[in-house]
Amino acid sequence: MISLHNVSKSYQQHQSILQAVHLVSLNIDKGEIHGVIGASGAGKSTLLRLMNVLETPDEGTVMVNNQTLTTLSNRKLREARRSIGMIFQHFNLVANKTVFDNVAVPLELASYSKKAKVERVKECLEFVGLRDKAHQYPAQLSGGQKQRVAIARALANRPAVLLCDEPTSALDPQTTAGILDVLQTVNKELGVTIVIVSHEMDVVKSICDKVTVMESGEILKTVSIEPQAYVIPKNDPKWFLQQLTEKERNSNA
Amino acid sequence: MPEIILKYQAEIWQSIGETFVMVGISIIAALLIGLPIGTLLYLCRKGQLLENRALYSSLNVFVNIVRSFPFLLLVVFLIPFTRFIVGTAIGTMAATIPLSIMAIAYYSRLVEQALLEVPRGIIESAVSMGASVPEIIFKFLFLEARSGLILGLTTSTISFISYSTVMGIVGGGGVGDFAIRYGYQRFETELMIYMIIIMIFLVQTIQFTGTTIAKKLDKR
């Protein structure tokens, strides 16, 4: 489904050159949930942005859905991007548009008729469980709800691939569990191939079939894993208090 | 109604009309030319969608040069250009030319600043959806920056009113010119004060309207 071949990307930083991704080759199969994990600066976000050519690679080829994105004309590339959804750590919703209008944007870009658009938006909001929020603005929603809207927006054009850039890193553990649930449903029910970049080991462990570990712009190793349920840490005030006072007692001792 | 106002009623109405013509045309120029120039300034910056050093530098230099002129000198300096466009360098219509040039430079800088407030992530998400540059401008940038664009236009309009008061030098007329000629030069201090009150009222109304609309449109 996604295949990178000898892809490199570097940035000019003041006087020096930063090699963000160096000669990486990677194949991601259809229907997979593929994790990319690594320390900050390991190049995982850049790797994800190379998959829909948000970053143009210095060398190498990027293939998604049997199309070589790196050789497409601008117009064809924009069309190809419509079947590659993307969500972000900070959601990136348009704050001056309602939830409904945010989800409708990709459909307008693909020139849907008004009727088809309304129906599809409702369907997508239903899917993420936010149909009743359609006429609210993003500022009125919680972080988890915003990410659900972003997922609905990314799914509107029925993409084959969903790229997720740190999708839960701005959320608390409870909300994270909810979002991971939605992503899993997207994968199982709609058959969408998902790539998740994260620095949170629990997230990657809980839903990925395969995980690529990155180190300073290169792939250290790609391993197959058995997804384990995401364990929600305790959220009980008494437990918080207990943890805090125990520490204090230890340090007093 | 004070006697002196009744006495000069016709002239006062005419001067208000002249101010509206001068400021109105400047606003139109700011929107039709200043908005696109400001948008280009933003888009041609380093790291933006249409990064273009040469175009950015030339627009930037143009805006800076116009804005560094003391306005009165700009009016005089532009006389040949005004004569070329309007056919004469004297009168209200002629006065709109230097005012519009200043308006374009002034508003384009405020547009650039308003657009810089739009989070980069929004642009990135627009690109990832397959939006073209015009689609990004109209469906994302302007929409997200609309409060800033309106507040900028409000600030500009008030500045244009202030600039328009010196247009007496080329016979442009207007409220400010009337206040100077009748109120100051003919020692009708009372009349001058009434004209200042009219200007204050005008500016307050514009600022209130602009702020209210901007607040109403801001859902961030």
Q: Give the domain CATH number at A35.
A: 3.40.50.300
Does a structural domain hold residue A106? Answer: no
Distance from the B120 Cα atom to the nearest Cα atom in chain A, whole angstroms = 9
Tell me what pLDDT residue B120 has. 94
Tell me what pLDDT residue A228 has. 84
Tell me what pLDDT residue A251 has. 60
Residue A3, CA distances (Å) to A66, A73, A207 in order: 9, 19, 21
Spatial distance between the Cα atoms of A229 and A202, rounded to a whole number of angstroms: 9
Mean pLDDT of chain B: 94
Answer whether A96 sits within 8 Å of B217, measured CB to CB.
Answer: yes
Q: What is the 3-state secondary structure (H, E, C) of chain B?
A: CCHHHHHCHHHHHHHHHHHHHHHHHHHHHHHHHHHHHHHHHHHCCCCCCCCCHHHHHHHHHHHHHHHHCCHHHHHHHCHHHHHHHHCCCCCHHHHHHHHHHHHHHHHHHHHHHHHHCCCHHHHHHHHHCCCCHHHHHHHHHHHHCHHHHHHHHHHHHHHHHHHHHHHHHHCCCCHHHHHHHHHHCCCCHHHHHHHHHHHHHHHHHHHHHHHHHHHHHCCC
Amino acid identity, position A48: L
Could you list the residue range(s) of the whole structural domain that residue A66 is in? 2-83+159-252
Does a structural domain hold residue A154? Answer: no
Structure tokens at B204: 């307050």
Is A253 strand, coil or helix?
A: coil
The DSSP-derived string for A86-130 is EE-TT----TTS-HHHHHHHHHHHTT--HHHHHHHHHHHHHHTT-
Q: Note whether B86 and B101 are within 8 A (CB).
A: no
Distance from the A45 Cα atom to the nearest Cα atom in chain B, whole angstroms = 13
Q: What is the pLDDT of residues A24-40, one digit of tens each?
A: 999 999 999 999 999 88
Tell me what pLDDT residue B96 has. 95
Regions of chain A with pLDDT less than 70: 247-253
How many structural domains is chain A composed of?
1
What average pLDDT does the segment B30-46 reach?
97
Q: What is the pLDDT of residues B97-147, one digit of tens each?
A: 999 999 999 999 999 999 999 999 999 999 999 999 999 999 999 999 999
A-B CB pairs within 8 A amount to: 62
Answer whether B219 sits within 8 Å of A137, measured CB to CB.
Answer: yes
Tell me what pLDDT residue A231 has. 79
Does a structural domain hold residue A196? Answer: yes
Does a structural domain hold residue A130? Answer: no
Optimal mutation site among B51, B124, B129, B150, interface A, most CBs of chain A within 10 A? B129
Tell me what pLDDT residue A249 has. 62
Residue A49, CA distances (Å) to A62, A101, A166 in order: 11, 25, 12
Q: What is the pLDDT of residues A106-122, one digit of tens each?
A: 999 999 999 999 999 99
How many structural domains is chain B composed of?
1
Spatial distance between the Cα atoms of B115 and B21, rounded to a whole number of angstroms: 29
Tell me what pLDDT residue A185 has. 94
Tell me what pLDDT residue A227 has. 84
Could you list the residue range(s) of the whole structural domain that residue B138 is in? 3-217
Which residue of A95, A105, A110 is in closest CB contact with B139? A105
Spatial distance between the Cα atoms of A42 and A238, rounded to a whole number of angstroms: 38
CATH number at residue B211: 1.10.3720.10
Tell me what pLDDT residue A237 has. 84
Tell me what pLDDT residue A248 has. 60
What average pLDDT does the segment B64-79 reach?
93
List all residues 6 or more positions away from A177 whose beta carbon is below 8 Å from its beta carbon.
A230, A232
Tell me what pLDDT residue A239 has. 82
